[in-house]
Structure 1
Amino acid sequence: MEINSFFIYVLITYLIGSIPFGLIVGKIFGKDVRKEGSGNIGATNVTRVIGKKAGILVLLLDALKGFFPVYIAKYYFPSKYVSIIALTAVIGHCFSIYLKFKGGKGVATAFGVLLALSLKVALIVLTFWLGVFLTTGYVFLASVLSAGISWSVIYVLLDDIYYTFAGFFIAIIIIFKHKSNLDRFLEGKENRFIYK
């Protein structure tokens, strides 16, 4: 493996991760999701502003941004390099070069990363996410808590220190990006996500 190939791969991963699918899908429907709802470009806000089908489409596209770069990288790079690629995919989504280094909150892309690393890990974290969401009704709370446990699940099941550190730093990014939700929650102003 040439180190130049790795850096090129990382750059491509960042550029792919930076694609703001929520904004693109919103524009197709004649909406700028940054100016409506919560202002976020993620699937939750797209669902609120445009509808369920658009939200599912964005969810899938954002997840694939994390899945494919990591899944392919596993065949060509050792885990310490794959972990950097995993982190890069989420950074691209959260700090997009196309949006002046602003972006989404990284949850769907991070799930795509988990799915590429391990189906078992992804299913455990998804089950936990669903449990919190269905119990509380808060998407942000389910996302933050799931991110918080994900790295420990990676450590236990995969026993790879590089993947574990990647999961830990991804969790920090996701929690940081949800700071406004946490502030609203503490003030009693955060809305539960209820789709009718």
Structure 2
Amino acid sequence: MEFIKIIYLVFTYLLASIPFGYVIGKLFGKDITKEGSGNIGATNVTRTIGKKAGILVLILDMLKGFIPVFYSIKLFSPDYRFVGVVALTAVLGHCFSVFMKFKGGKGVATGIGVLLAVSPKVAFIVILIWLGTFLVSGYVSLASILAASLSWVIYVFLEGNIYITFAILIASFIIVMKHSSNIERLLNGTESRFLHK
């Protein structure tokens, strides 16, 4: 069983490492790492290629988090310690992709996919926080930082599994750290709005 778990974690990491934003960018003849913000996530794809491509990347990046975590619950439950490791591995794979020299996206969409697998109601609230912040401020980065920061707190109150909580807490920290340049620009007033007020 332990060997199967190791194989499953390797599968999770490799799946999450697939840089869908970069791949789709190449299909449109663009190197997304050299366009816009240089990020491979859905926001930069939307800005540089278009809304349809951005939505596709968003869905695919969410599935990278949802699929391995959902099936780890089905296959290994009630081993929620392992499920937590799978959840964290998915976010790590997206943020530090082996296919991108251990660079990657910022983990927001993949993190939402993880939340959808472990608790749809928590995911729903986190998405509402993201949407509310985004619509009020116009900043994707601020919405992502706030939603990530609150996700583990919401999970504690609504679900409370210690292993999943710990995984979400670490994943949230990684996501916020991946936004460090955005935080600096927000503080300096130089961050670009996605929605212009």
TM class, shorter-length? over 0.9
1:66 matched to 2:65: yes
The DSSP-based 3-state class of the residue aligned with 2:75 is: coil
Matched letter for residue 41 of structure 2: G
Q: Counterpart of 1:170? A: 171
Q: Kindly report which structure 2 residues correspond to 1:1-196, keeping only aligned pairs within 5 A, or say none.
A: 2-77=1-76, 78-194=79-195
* Matches of 1:173 and 1:63, distance apart in 2: 16
Moved more, 84-93 or 73-82: 73-82
* Matches of 1:24 and 1:175, distance apart in 2: 25
Matched letter for residue 156 of structure 1: F
Q: Residues 139-172 of structure 1: CA distance to partner in whole angstroms, max 9, x if unpaired?
A: 0100011000100111111120001001100100
Structure 2: segments with no counterpart, 5+ residues: none
* Matches of 1:157 and 1:18, distance apart in 2: 30
The DSSP-based 3-state class of the residue aligned with 1:75 is: helix
CA RMSD of aligned residues (A): 0.8
Matched letter for residue 27 of structure 1: K
Shift of 1:194: 2.5
State the TM-score, normalized to the length of structure 2: 0.97
The DSSP-based 3-state class of the residue aligned with 1:56 is: helix
* Matches of 1:159 and 1:119, distance apart in 2: 14
* Matches of 2:19 and 2:61, distance apart in 1: 8
Structure 1: segments with no counterpart, 5+ residues: none
* Matches of 1:108 and 1:15, distance apart in 2: 17
* Matches of 1:43 and 1:163, distance apart in 2: 26
Q: Residues 87-118 of structure 1: CA distance to partner in whole angstroms, max 9, x if unpaired?
A: 00000000000001000000000000000011
* Matches of 1:74 and 1:158, distance apart in 2: 15
Aligned residues: 194
| Displaced runs of 4 or more, over 3 A | none
- Aligned-residue sequence identity (percent) comes to 59
State the TM-score, normalized to the length of structure 1: 0.97
